[in-house]
Amino acid sequence: MTTVQRLSVADTRARMRADHARLLGILRSGQPDAPPRSARLHPAYICVALYRISNHLYRAGHRLSARLVWHLNLVLTGADISEPADLGPGLVIMHPPGTAIMGTAGRNLTVMACAGIGGELGRRDDVGAGPGLAVLGDDVVLEPHSGVLGPIRIGHRVRVGAGIAVARDVPDDTRVEWPAPRYIRRRDLP
């Protein structure tokens, strides 16, 4: 069994403050006329706060309590964020339902609707997050319906476009997108 690095209560609270500040900054940028004073009741923050509590309990050795908080997060917000996942401060999950995360990420990870990070069947290599799991750098953005799968490394400042499933390493400062769409005229329509 792999040893898990403990995370102090002060470190967990510091990560939660960074998560809240980042989410509040995003919410304020959308409505400069009436900025919210707090985002603590926003579903995006509730999701991340429950993950942080679950992760802290997991690292402290309280596996059953961690699993119960994980399950509460799944029921309340619809987000499946594994207790052992190591996600850096500044985490923002804009639309929690349908989000699944298991792996490691650096600072300021942004996850949009139905995006996720996970393992891949058949590939059990360990690149630092555990067998079969991905490692993401700082300032990574996962757009809606995108995913990072398998034991790969994603660099810093990478943006994974909507609907993309990444299964290979991605270097720093990269935007991963589909090729330009093709438009095919249907011949059965007048």
Burial 9-36 (b: 16+ CB within 10 A, else e): eeebeebbebbbebbbeebeeeeeeeee
Predicted confidence at residue 49, as pLDDT, reads 97
- What whole-number distance in Å separates Cα of residue 137 and Cα of residue 188? 48
pTM: 0.88
Instruction: Examine the pLDDT at 1 and tell me if it is beyond 50.
Output: no
Per-residue pLDDT reduced to its tens digit, 76-88? 999 999 999 999 9
What are the percentages of helix, strand and coil residues in the chain, rounded to 5? 30, 15, 55
Burial of 47 (0-12, 13-18, 19+ CB in 10 A): buried
The sign one gets for the Cα dihedral 180, 181, 184, 189 is negative
Residues 47-75: what's their mean pLDDT? Answer: 97
Per-residue pLDDT reduced to its tens digit, 94-108? 999 999 999 999 999
The CA radius of gyration of the chain, in Å to the nearest whole number, is 18
Residues 120-126: what's their mean pLDDT? Answer: 79
Per-residue pLDDT reduced to its tens digit, 139-162? 999 999 999 999 999 999 999 999
